[in-house]
Structure 1
Amino acid sequence: MTRSQLPDWLRAPKPYTYLKKMIKESEKKSYGSLFKSFYEFEGAYEEHYKRVMGTKSWSIGPVSLWENQEELDKAGRGHAKEGEGKRTDEELMRWLDSKKENYVLYVSFGSMNKFPTAQLVEIAHALEDCGHDFIWVVRKNDDDGDRGFLEEFEKRVQESNKGYLIWGWAPQLAILDHPATGAVVTHCGMNTVFESVIAGLPLVAWPIFSEQFFNEKLVVDVLKIGVSAGAKEWRNLNDFGSETVKREEIRKAIVLVMGGEECVEMRKRVKVLSDEAKKAIQSGGTSHNNLKELIEELKSVKLQKGI
Structure 2
Amino acid sequence: MSEEEWQWFQLSQSATKLSASEMASLEKQLLVEPANLDIRVQVFAYYSQREGNVLKHKNADRKLSEQILWWIENYPSVKGFMGYYISKQGSSFKPKTFAALRQAWLEQVSKNPLDGTLLGNAACFIAWNDFETASELFERADEQQPNSGLLGSYLIHCNAALHKAPAASVDKLRKQVIDVGIRSLEDKAHCTPFLDCMYISDAALELGRFDIVNRCAEILQSEEDEASLQMANGYLALVALRQNNLSLAVELLLKTKTAYLPLDVTFRLAKELFDAGERESIVQMILNLKKRTTKASARKRWLKQIANDERPDFDY
Choose 1 or 2 for highest CA Rg: 2
Do both proteins adopt the same fold according to a TM-score greater than 0.5, normalized to the shorter chain? no
| TM-score normalised by L of structure 2 | 0.23
- Structure showing greater relative contact order (alpha-carbon pairs closer than 8 Å, 6 or more residues apart): 1
| TM-score normalised by L of structure 1 | 0.23
Structure richer in strand, relative to its length: 1
